[in-house]
A and B are shown apart, each in its own frame.
Chain A
Amino acid sequence: GNSVTQMEGPVTLSEEAFLTINCTYTATGYPSLFWYVQYPGEGLQLLLKATKADDKGSNKGFEATYRKETTSFHLEKGSVQVSDSAVYFCALSQAGNNRKLIWGLGTSLAVNP
């Protein structure tokens, strides 16, 4: 079945450090891929998405490229800020079955000043 595997956290970085959070998936066909962010005490927000191979999603300095050959969608940011501290979730959806989302376990990021 479909699944999403995320690198385990927590991840702790200093401000302005480079961030990578790995995400790989297992799915048939061509799923859409998402990164969601959950700030402390808040609900989920869509950070970025990609709907086909080689697409790059980007938002707020974060980027992720849909790599079908490696079934990956790694999240990157060149210079993190304290305000980026949150939990990041990788997810996929496929056509049919109400397009329900399949979630990774989430990666907690703490950025220290």
Chain B
Amino acid sequence: GAVVSQHPSRVICKSGTSVKIECRSLDFQATTMFWYRQFPKQSLMLMATSNEGSKATYEQGVEKDKFLINHASLTLSTLTVTSAHPEDSSFYICSAREAGAGGYTFGSGTRLTVV
């Protein structure tokens, strides 16, 4: 079945630095990619939706200059957390959808800790 590879699975970074998270669709073309943030014991919060080759659409309250999303190819999307601060520590999850297909495939998530 469809697989989305998300890396890294865990990252610890210093406050003020930037962190890049990658999601790759391994056996299908991810025309749409969704980026989520999940707080402990809470549901997923959609941060942004991106279509290949287009600018991402951010949800209300999500800073687009802080959470940079690039979806330059049909198999790769990246989320860069810029100038990270401790409050950005969270679990980030990507999800990909192929055009015309009904399903969503999720990456295994990235645990970001900013110290």
Contact = CB atoms under 8 A, between A and B. Distances in A.
Contacts of B107: 43
Contacts, number: 48
A25 interface: no
Contacts of A46: 103-104
Contacts of B43: 89, 103-106
A60 to B, nearest CB: 15
Interface in A21-57: 32, 34, 36, 42-46, 49, 51
A105 to B, nearest CB: 4
Majority DSSP secondary structure for residues of B touching A: strand
The A contact surface, by secondary structure, is: strand
Q: How big is chain B's contact interface, by range? A: 20 to 34
A7 interface: no
14 contacts: A36-B106, A42-B109, A43-B93, A44-B44, A44-B95, A44-B106, A45-B106, A49-B102, A89-B43, A99-B32, A99-B97, A101-B34, A101-B46, A101-B104
